[in-house]
């Protein structure tokens, strides 16, 4: 798990999935172009040098593209070795393969050529090297001799890597299908499975895979910072290879026309999609996989959700959101992303803070305090861990003291998105619950807030749908401690640091303000409304 977590960033930061190395005059028109199209059809980002003009100034671009790829496909053909460019590419590819960490995956394709000719530099490969040696014959430099030796060693090494031989396939389309599927499998291994390392629960993978096989439209719901987007990305990486048309769309960045353009691999005008089901009907016989991530309003995607049931039974639509009401009657099942258990939380925090799965000696108790503060929210665990990394115990102690009054901005910013989406009445109800009613009976709270002129029944339901509160089995209102702290932070930013100017106070702050008579007369009415002894039912 630790290795997956630590390596995830470097794996996913590469620009290309695949680099294609091939001899243009042999396979550019035909096999390689068909392979390139097939890779693109599966949304595999592939680098090909069609547009490059050969020249010395081009090599840095090619070398960078090779280094910035997860996988290299080397198409060995009859005249591959006659190209010095191809041989230089191969040397660079194998250099990347030999890296101890993040070594590149190399997939050889032996296209109408015998692997033994490549391995032993015989046949056409022997003739190619005879020419290279003649061309370099005028140069007695050690560099020229070493270059030829490097080329030969690279061919031998590459030919010994397990690959695909065109002679063992009935036709080129069969060969291409196998190569593409091989690439997909290799890429899934290159992108670490984050389900345990980032998302949390040990049985999560099994649960979600079961849902994916049986549920056509799935909603993923939970409060901010719980890893809904990460879950969606993992699902997409795990399953997209099984589908004909796929799209992962951040709902805030994608229009319906952009989504359809990506699905169909063609330009779709916005004027041609409003209210029309034509383009989705084109896909009914296909396996389609769509993820709508970070949805707070369906708007133009409404018809997509409504009519998705008409797609193939093998098609899948996943929606991630903080708003459960948005999923109502639109999805077949809702998966709730819940808070992490303490052991999982400690492991993730330790990975961030110490780059290992357990706390360092001397930091055990402090790490438990961090886990308690985060309350099972992955975002909070990661932010705290990264901020405390490589710091001494005094710094940790000081940080915890500050967190009691001033929550981390990176955490609050994410959590506050749901609060910002509330109307003014719902915001008041949220703040009243944050200050006074955590743990109280729902019916009792509704009576009190209704008496204060608030429509509490509908407001509390909205807060629950947006994962800002939960209702326990005992019908009591519960709120995460970080959301409660967010309420205090909102009050402080709206009213200033001085508690005497706040419209809501609770606990020792309220008693201190009243005791010292710091409340101005015109502010007293608000305190009559909010400071009282709650009679418990």
Distance in angstroms (rounded) separating the CA atoms of residues 236 and 232: 6
Q: What is the DSSP string of 456-470?
A: HHHHHHHHHHTTS-E
Of 5, 78, 88, 89, catalytic: 89
* Pair 422, 491: CB distance under 8 Å: no
Strands 288-295 and 316-321: what pairing? parallel
| Mean pLDDT score across all residues of the chain | 82
What is the tens place of the pLDDT at every residue in 267-282?
Answer: 777 776 665 677 778 8
Same fold, 194-336 and 412-530: no
The 8 Å CB, 24+ separation contacts for 156-160 are: 156/118, 156/119, 156/120, 156/121, 157/94, 158/74, 158/76, 158/90, 158/93, 158/94, 158/106, 158/108, 158/118, 159/76, 159/108, 159/115, 159/116, 159/118, 159/119, 160/119
Domain boundaries defined on the chain: 2-189, 194-336, 342-404, 412-530
Q: List the alpha helices (DSSP H) in 329-423.
A: 342-354, 364-374, 378-388, 393-403, 409-420
pTM value?
0.63
Instruction: Give pLDDT, residue 138.
Output: 63
Distance CA 114, CA 78 (A): 9
pLDDT for 482-522, tens place per residue? Answer: 898 898 888 878 766 665 555 666 655 555 555 555 445 44
List CB contacts of 143: < 8 A, sequence separation 6 or more.
none
Backbone region of residue 506 per phi and psi (left: phi > 0; alpha: psi in -120 to 50; beta: other values): beta
Residue 89 falls in the annotated catalytic set:
yes
Segment 124-140, tens digit of pLDDT: 999 999 888 887 766 66
**CA 475 – CA 495 distance, rounded (Å):** 32
The full DSSP string for 10-26 is: HHHT-SEEEEEEE-HHH
Using CA atoms, how far apart are residues 463 and 432, in angstroms rounded to an integer? 12
Residue whose C-alpha is closest to residue 65's, from 75, 80, 50: 50
The share of the chain scoring above pLDDT 70, in percent, equals 81
Q: What is the mean pLDDT of residues 374-380?
A: 90
Task: Read off φ and ψ for residue 262, nearest 5 degrees.
Answer: -70, -40
φ and ψ of 32, to 5 deg: -65, -40
**What's the average model confidence in pLDDT over 247-258?**
86
DSSP state for residue 360 in the 8-state scheme: P
Query: What share of the chain in percent tops pLDDT 90?
Result: 39
pLDDT at 101 over 60: no
Burial letters 396-434, b for 16+ CB under 10 A, else e: beebbeebeeebbeebbebbbebbebbeeebbbbbbbbb
Going edge to edge, which strands form the sheet with 333-336? 245-250, 288-295, 316-321, 217-221, 333-336
Specify the pLDDT at position 253: 86
Do 72 and 49 meet the contact criterion of CB atoms below 8 Å apart?
Answer: no
Rounded Cα gap, residues 228 and 327, in angstroms: 14
Judging by beta carbons within 10 Å of its beta carbon (0-12, 13-18, 19+), is residue 70 exposed, middle or buried? buried
Residue 96 in this model has a pLDDT that exceeds 50:
yes
> What does the DSSP assignment read for 274-295?
TT--HHHHHTTTS-EEEEEEEE
Say if domain 412-530 classifies as CATH 1.10.287. Answer: no
At the topology level, CATH places domain 194-336 in: Rossmann fold (3.40.50)
Q: Provide the CATH number for the domain formed by 2-189 in this structure.
A: 3.40.50.10140
Quick one: average pLDDT of 363-371?
A: 95
């Amino acid at each position: 798990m630790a290795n997956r977590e630590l390596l995830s960033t470097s794996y996913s930061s590469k620009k290309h999935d695949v680099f294609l190395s091939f001899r243009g005059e042999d396979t550019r028109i035909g096999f390689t172009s068909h392979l390139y199209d097939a890779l693109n059809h599966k949304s595999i980002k592939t680098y090909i040098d069609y547009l490059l003009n050969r020249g010395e100034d081009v090599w840095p671009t090619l070398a960078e593209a090779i280094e910035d790829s997860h996988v290299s496909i080397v198409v060995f053909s009859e005249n591959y070795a006659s190209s010095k460019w191809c041989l230089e590419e191969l040397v660079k590819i194998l250099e990347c393969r030999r890296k101890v960490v993040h070594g590149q995956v190399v997939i050889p394709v032996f296209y109408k050529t015998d692997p033994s000719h490549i391995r032993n530099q015989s046949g056409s490969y022997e003739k190619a090297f005879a020419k290279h040696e003649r061309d370099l014959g005028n140069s007695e430099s050690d560099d020229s001799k070493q270059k030829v030796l490097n080329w030969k060693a690279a061919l031998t090494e590459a030919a010994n890597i397990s690959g695909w031989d065109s002679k063992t396939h009935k036709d080129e389309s069969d060969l291409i299908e196998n190569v593409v599927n091989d690439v997909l499998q290799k890429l899934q291994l290159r992108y670490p499975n984050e389900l345990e390392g980032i998302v949390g629960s040990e049985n999560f993978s099994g649960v979600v895979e079961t849902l994916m096989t049986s549920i056509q439209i799935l909603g993923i719901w939970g409060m901010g910072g719980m890893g809904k987007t990460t879950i969606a990305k993992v699902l997409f990486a795990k399953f997209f290879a099984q589908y004909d048309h796929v799209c992962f769309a951040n709902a805030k960045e994608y229009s319906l026309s952009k989504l359809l353009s990506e699905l169909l691999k063609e330009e779709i005008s916005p004027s041609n999609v409003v209210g029309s089901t034509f383009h989705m009907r084109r896909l009914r016989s296909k396996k389609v996989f769509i993820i709508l991530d970070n949805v707070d309003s369906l708007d133009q995607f409404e018809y997509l959700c409504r009519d998705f049931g008409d797609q193939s039974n093998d098609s899948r639509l996943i929606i991630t959101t903080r708003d459960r009401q948005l999923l109502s009657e639109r999805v077949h099942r809702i998966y709730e992303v819940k808070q992490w258990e303490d052991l999982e939380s400690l492991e993730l925090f330790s990975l961030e803070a110490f780059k290992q799965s357990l706390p360092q000696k001397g930091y055990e108790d402090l790490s438990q305090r961090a886990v308690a503060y985060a309350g099972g929210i992955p975002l909070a665990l990661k932010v705290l861990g990264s901020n405390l990394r490589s710091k001494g115990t005094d710094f940790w102690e000081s940080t915890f003291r500050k967190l009691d009054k001033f929550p981390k901005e990176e955490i609050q910013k994410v959590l506050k998105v749901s609060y910002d989406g509330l109307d003014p009445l719902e915001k008041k109800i949220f703040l009243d619950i944050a200050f006074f009613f955590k743990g109280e009976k729902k019916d009792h709270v509704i009576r009190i807030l209704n008496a204060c002129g608030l429509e509490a029944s509908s407001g509390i339901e909205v807060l629950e749908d947006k994962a800002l509160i939960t209702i326990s089995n005992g019908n009591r209102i519960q709120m995460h401690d970080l959301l409660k702290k967010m309420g205090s932070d909102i009050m402080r930013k709206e009213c200033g640091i001085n508690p005497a100017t706040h419209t809501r106070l609770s606990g020792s702050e309220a008693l201190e303000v009243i005791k010292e008579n710091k409340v101005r007369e015109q502010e007293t009415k608000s305190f009559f409304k909010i400071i009282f002894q709650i009679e418990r039912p």
